[in-house]
Amino acid sequence: MTRSAVQLYTLRDVDRPFTDVLELVADAGFDGVEFAYRVTEADPDAVVQTLDETGLDVAGAHVPIDELEGDFEETVAFYDELGVEHVVVPWLDAEHFESVEAVEAAAARLAKLADELSAHGMALHYHNHDHEFTDLDGESGFDAFLDETSFGIELDLGLALAAGDDVVERLRALGDRSQLVHLKDYDVEAGESVPVGEGDLDLDGIADAVAANDSEWLIYEYEGADPVASLERAGSRTNELC
């Protein structure tokens, strides 16, 4: 059964202790959190205690590739202490998708990390933006990347939509590679992230695809103003889609 979570990048500018931010997520009715950035500055014991007290589970963590390649053992140990099983590389520069050769090199680099993480009981995923969809002689860089890889793909629905992709068909095609799905609604005309339900995503189609794939997590992300106010409505709407 798919469960709901919040990508904590959504709340990156909330000026409260990190554990208070976790409580905001729980109060909004979400099942879990996906870590990003601020968690590395927090006390791991306090984070684990707050997760236990609120009943929140860990959907995963966004971990920059430089951290994984720079000090793999220390990075893995830190996230293992927090209960992370899904490690997401959140970004590769556009240059990695500008040619077939660049895509192949990026795929090999991530495949190596996937093998290393698997040995520690963790699964690797890649989170897209819009620059992966560049045209490479009739095939997108993203499609070429998918052909070269077998690890998980955390499809950012809003950014894929911004790139002109059919996100419902994309989700269906990903199948069981899409255990983590980013629910970021997007207004194509305005070119901006909007609260869930106010953009151009086909939410019913997405819900059907997520159910068909038996995805583990549908993860809310929002980059607009007043993210705290958006949480309560987002919690109920995201849970409806699970």
Whether the predicted pLDDT of 171 surpasses 90: yes
Query: What pLDDT score was predicted for residue 22?
Result: 99
Q: How far apart are the first and last CA of the chain?
A: 8
Is the pLDDT reported for residue 232 higher than 90?
no
Q: Once rounded to an integer, what is the mean pLDDT over residues 197-223?
A: 98
pLDDT tens-place string over residues 99-144: 999 999 999 999 999 999 999 999 999 999 999 999 999 999 999 9
Q: Which domain holds residue 35?
A: 3-241
Count structural domains, the chain.
1
> Does the pLDDT of residue 15 top 90, yes or no?
yes
Say what the pLDDT of residue 112 is.
Answer: 98
Question: Is residue 202 pLDDT above 90, yes or no?
Answer: yes
Distances (CA, A) of 228 to 15, 22, 79, 186, 231: 11, 12, 25, 18, 5
pLDDT of residue 37: 85
Looking at residue 242, what is its pLDDT?
97
Residue 125's pLDDT is what? 99
Gap between the Cα atoms of 30 and 196, Å rounded: 14
**What pLDDT sits at residue 62?**
99
Whether this model's pTM surpasses 0.95:
yes
> Measured between alpha carbons, how far is 167 from 128 in angstroms, rounded to an integer?
12
The enclosing domain of 79 has a CATH number of 3.20.20.150
Tell me what the pLDDT averaged over the chain comes to: 98
